[in-house]
A = this chain, B = another copy of it.
Amino acid sequence: MLIVMDKKASPKQIQQVVEAIESKGYMARPIPGGDRVSIGILNNKGPVDSGLFISLPGVKEAICVTRPYKLVSREIKPDHTLIKVGAVTIGNGHLTIMAGPCAIESESQAMTIAEKVKASGAHIFRGGAYKPRTSPYTFQGMGLDGLKILAKIRDTFDMPVITEVMDNETFDLVETYADIVQIGTRNMQNFSLLKRAGKSKRPVMLKRGMSATLEELLMAAEYILEAGNSNVILCERGVRTFVRHSRNTLDLSVVPVIHKESHLPVIIDPSHAAGKRDQVIPLSRASVAVGAHGLMVEVHHDPQNAMSDGAQSLLPEQFDQLVKEAQSLFKIVRPR
């Protein structure tokens, strides 16, 4: 941490800051500049709370220099994390396609879609059994019955399944049926849930919060790793901005920065970002081109009658075409 003093800070004020730093067991190193003094804090183990110093007289601001995350950091673990789920590997060098309906609505709906996405080349089946919904009056998911349908899909089509967990009460259950447990956008900083996920044997896909910074996303993942589970997949799904032509703004710039800062794989969900089918295909192409390790795409054979998110679900034939294009694009951009 660097404490920046006012231009007119007195020597006594500077001395007070130095003493405050030293009283915490850190080392203080004043750096006289052209028009003001800054004071570096050294020898700290772990994060320093800027609040300790920012309100001292003569202090202009406190600037964080180091990163607060450790276990997720590429500086600590330079090699890529590869996550194996059955025969599928997620991470550097692989393009993993997850596809399926927003929600499991019935066995026949789910099986129909699963058969189609499998045939098109999807690696993992997605489908919600517990659904976080903005309104208490809309469909909340099939619950345990939905989980059982997912298990049947895995067995029938030899395809791992991913589904969302919403709370600690149902975590055991979800974990029993799912190959990958998903933590949703609205729960990215549900720290109780993150701690529980850290004790799971299953890989966890952690979706970025609607307005989470990259640092907050990585710190949320840090909770899971710190609690013992190092199989974490990050997922970008659009952030909230002033923009109104798409539901959220897909932040593809996060992908190269994640590659640089962390060893964890990153998947893109263009369906939720776009909110409209027309945008899903071009954004999927862009997601592969920017270097993501995979896509999560909503597909429905009868979107007009879908119980949720019909407007953003691809038709199976659109998805089929998309997988072909994605694989072609991936050949060009894949790391060598």
Contact = CB atoms under 8 A, between A and B. Distances in A.
Interface of A: 2, 4, 6-8, 20, 29, 31-36, 38, 40, 42-47, 49-52, 54-56, 63, 65-66, 68, 70, 75, 132-138, 166-169, 186-193, 209-211, 213-214, 216, 219, 222-223, 226-227, 239-246, 249-257, 260, 273-274, 276-279, 282-283, 285-291, 303-306, 308-312, 325, 328-329, 332-333
Nearest to A210: B211
A293 to B, nearest CB: 13
A5 to B, nearest CB: 10
A305 B188 CA distance: 30
A323 to B, nearest CB: 13
B31 A136 contact: no
Nearest to A134: B219
Contact of A289 (B4, B213, B285): B285
Nearest to A62: B311
Contact of A34 (B44, B132, B189): B44
Given A55-B303, A55-B304, A213-B245, A46 B240 contact: no
A305 B42 CA distance: 19
Nearest to A246: B253
Contacts of A240: 211, 242
A332 B186 CA distance: 36
Given A34-B43, A304-B56, A329-B329, A65 B65 contact: no
Given A68-B135, A137-B47, A273 B245 contact: no
18 contacts: A6-B75, A33-B42, A51-B309, A51-B310, A55-B303, A55-B311, A68-B137, A167-B167, A211-B211, A211-B240, A213-B245, A214-B244, A239-B241, A241-B249, A245-B254, A246-B257, A250-B253, A253-B274
In order of increasing CB-CB distance, the 5 nearest A-B pairs are A51-B311, A211-B211, A51-B310, A289-B289, A167-B192
Contact of A65 (B4, B66, B75): B4
Nearest to A24: B305
Contacts of A2: 2, 38, 63, 65
Contact of A257 (B223, B245, B257): B245
A47 B311 contact: no
Nearest to A44: B34
Contact of A282 (B56, B188, B290): B290
Given A256-B279, A332-B332, 10 more contacts: A38-B40, A51-B309, A52-B305, A68-B137, A166-B192, A167-B192, A241-B251, A282-B289, A285-B289, A325-B332
Contact of A243 (B6, B44, B213, B303): B213
Best-buried of A136, A216, A246 by chain B (most CB within 10 Å): A136
Nearest to A224: B136
